[in-house]
Structure 1
């Protein structure tokens, strides 16, 4: 079990985009290929689910906030960063920081571009 964990850590340490096959890595470390593949894929799913659960707003709430911002902008009242922060805090039912606003704007830049 610890060997599989070590091999998974080795896979995670590869450079992004670096090619590998489970068959090669399994053979090099003497582990079962199907076990390695299944565990690695499962760890990715769990990591993605964890990051979604840690977000202040879920993806649907973020899209609704984008639509609200667009509506205000269309009416000639584009919200300030502080207003976006207040809107998000109300939806999240907990305070969001200035950093959250920056990351939100970066995540949604394709939806929030000025025309």
Structure 2
């Protein structure tokens, strides 16, 4: 099993995919990179670690916050989903994962459940 790192931000209809991903029992731990709106309105059905990206943060600040909150992952890789969010948020997530020396698998929900892309 591994951890999931997913962006939960802007993008019409993207929260549905994130909900389906985090509800899969294969994940040991789930990290959601989100904004204040997501933290306030998203109600996960399982324990998740919310990583708050505040408006006005630089990309480097975003990376630092994500790295700080993800510290201690003992796996060699993580599943990553960036269906939701902005390009800067996506870059920060990818950079944070790579700065920790983790491999990543891009994942999404398909007709048959989670699939690697």
Tell me the TM-score normalised to structure 2 length: 0.28
Decide which structure has the larger Cα Rg and report it. 1
Larger proportion of strand: 2
Larger proportion of helix: 1
Tell me the TM-score normalised to structure 1 length: 0.28
